[in-house]
Structure 1
């Protein structure tokens, strides 16, 4: 068995919906029930990658046989749900900040350990009135940080900066992006994060025009929720070779190499509303 850490960065808003209206939103995004943290279901991510390949032996070994032969054997690669790790939030300085909390970080550290990634010790969680920074890029004089309607005391923490530098090498593909990530990443209290998870999603009102009247068709006005652009999500990709019919099982290097080839082709479209630009992602396996 071999485990890779999968990092997804949203290049456009992502809509992985539930198909059930909640409150005032007709098409909400998928969230974990106990934590309310947004996610991309592993089944959605796997389906997207499967559709990118052709019916060749290595592709079938990774994702499993065609539906008519689904009972022959399972696929050799498992895809976990991709959970939100850093939420982009509007900031008075630097345009936006990547915001997270201790609970979300600890889950990431647990997954990173499974993938044999060594990370420094996490810093202590801030107070509800504080925001921990890795640099002064987000600071508003004298020592404040302002996100949306929140005003925090800025706490620049060397331990947080050290942790971010290591995490950036896992999450970001270029040195420039790694530097920007360290400058913009911010750690807040879990209660603050719970509010941001509710209020910082992108909600868009859409309609359908009646071709005869050129006005909104009856019943064709709805709202869609989406994870905002620049969201960062992480999960695991696990390769466990499974014999394919009478042939031998492929090695984990062959299996994961094929997945890396698929995600290395360029942006991957995940979730619904792809024809209107939703769901474009940068995917990285490490």
Structure 2
């Protein structure tokens, strides 16, 4: 027997899911999908945090759910499968409403695909005619003068649409992120541009104790997903394979849900406040 659910991840502080040293202008970039360039959080990061939070469980239960330690990895597989956390909503600075939560038709299509896997019905897909247009719910707080939406240094022609309202309401019912009045759907091409330019990049330095100036070679740039970003991950559980631990998939899913209560730290740079996230588990079917 198998069970599955969607896990929503809401960034409460900038989220740095890094790839190690970069070769471009940013020394420590975030992880991005090879084909699409869309930022993501590796499923291994989330699964590792879940296993860490299960440290208070007895050893056999923990091994039944997450698998044994590496030296005994050939004994049996774990009963939890955690997918990569894919980006759904990117916060972008807005002249009106402070910021918008931006997505695109492609991001919604692939989210819809995974939502259907766990039995969640979603609104219909949307289409944006050209890169200069943006769809938003009627009465949106990011709608500006002259029927425009102003994101960063871009001004887009706003089109109020019932389909955008349907998505905004659907997400607002399931997320604690401030989606209501802020959802903006832009063209896929423009979304690609925002994913390159609207992430958070900060300069980090280390001072020389004596001179109080930047130490030699101690200036670097880090990239993060901004606070209020929303990602999602597909979570699947199976009946445990460990002898003597007959845990059904449904019970394991409930146990994993319990591990996601309260704020969770993900990614790197935890000591400087990066990666504090809130979770919401929705759906769940055999």
The answer, yes or no, to whether TM exceeds 0.5 is yes
How far apart are residue 103 of structure 1 and its match?
Answer: 0.6
| Number of aligned positions between the proteins | 278
Q: 1:129 aligns with which of 111, 119, 132?
A: 132
In angstroms, what is the RMSD of aligned CA positions?
1.4
* Residue in 2 that maps onto 1:34: 35
Give the secondary-structure state (helix, strand or coil) at the position aligned to 1:27.
coil
Is contact 1:86–1:231 with CA below 8 Å preserved after alignment? yes
TM-score by length of 1: 0.93
Among 222, 225, 244, the alignment partner of 2:223 is 225
**Structure 2 residue corresponding to 1:70, chosen from 51, 70, 73:** 73
1:236 pairs with one of 234, 238, 247? 234
Q: Which residue of 2 aligns with 1:278?
A: 274
**Which residue is equivalent to 1:160?**
164
Residues 113-134 of structure 1: CA deviation (Å, up to 9, x unaligned) = 0111011212322422111001
1:254 has 2:255 as partner: no
Distance 1:43 1:160 in 2: 33
Using the TM superposition, give the Cα deviation of residue 68 of structure 1 relative to its aligned residue in structure 2, in angstroms. Answer: 3.1
Within a 5 Å distance, the mapping from 1:6-25 to structure 2 comes to 6-25=7-26
Unmatched 5+ stretches in structure 1? none
CA spacing shift, 1:261–1:119, aligned 2, 3 Å: same
TM-score w.r.t. the length of structure 2 is 0.93
Q: Report the equivalent of 1:119.
A: 122
Alignment of 1:89 with 2:89, yes or no, is no
Give the C-alpha shift of residue 248 in structure 1.
4.2
Asked if the contact 1:126–1:188 (Cα under 8 Å) also holds between the matched residues in 2, the reply is no
